[in-house]
Amino acid sequence: ENGEVKLSGGGNGNCYIDLGIDKLPSDKFTIEMWVTLRELKEWARCMVVKSENPIVFTSRRSKDDGNYCCNFDSCGGVQKTGYELKKDKQYYVAISYENNGNGGVIVKQYLKESGAENFLWTNTYTKDSYSLPVNVTAFWLAHSSDGTGDLKADYDELRVWNGALTGNQISFSSLAGPNAKFGILSLAPDAKLDLAGHTLKQPIVKASGLIETGDGELVVTEKISIKS
């Protein structure tokens, strides 16, 4: 409906999206999504990637003040944003993983209200003695395996990249919004689109794209469009 997948939530396993285990590159990647929470539910997961250690974006109720706050669980450590999530508000969420070259991994996380220029929260988290590739065993939207029930939420789009996007790339991709034509509808072969002072260039028609910002180029391995 209106270009979004609307999930009704409910009991555990009632209504969620299983994206399969072959969607993520194993050595470095970025996940972006646009999600609207239609309920505020304790421990509800907007996204879960299961592996040896979890990659989770979750909304959960703080025991201190009763607010539903956005938290990330990455490599077995929880990063608390302290930001209270709002019902019926669309959020942009992104998370990237890459090796740090010293036997560990660098995780970068981003949260903003959709359409806003500034981020509500950003974070860089380093986990020592954690090596990629990641052995992914599940990739879910609005579901978890701990019996908390599925989340009632609308998903406008999900993007998976085969590299760790830079902060500048994340910024202009988030401003481009969920309807940016990454690898779905063709621009002319030489067409360029200026976004937030950067350039998005899609050179060919196929299920991949090229993001070009002066910081280097990242090729999208697969654009997972979950629009109905």
Tokens of 192: 């360029």
| Secondary structure of residue 168 in the 3-state scheme | helix
Confidence (pLDDT) at 65: 60
Q: What does pTM read for this prediction?
A: 0.79
Q: Could you tell me if 160 and 223 are in contact, meaning their C-beta atoms sit under 8 angstroms apart?
A: yes
Confidence (pLDDT) at 1: 52
User: Parallel, antiparallel, or unpaired for β 150-161 and 29-37?
Assistant: antiparallel
Confidence (pLDDT) at 184: 33
Confidence (pLDDT) at 216: 39
Write out pLDDT tens, residues 160-212.
Answer: 887 788 888 888 788 888 876 543 333 334 434 333 343 333 322 223 333 43
Write down the residue that tokens 């608390």 correspond to: 80
Count other Cβ atoms within 10 Å, centred on residue 148: 17
Contacts of 199 (CB under 8 A, 6+ apart): 192, 193, 212, 213
Task: State how far the Cα of 199 lies from the Cα of 65, in Å rounded to an integer.
Answer: 43
Residues of the chain with pLDDT under 50: 182-228
- 4 Cα distance to chain centroid: 16
Write down the residue that tokens 């995780």 correspond to: 107
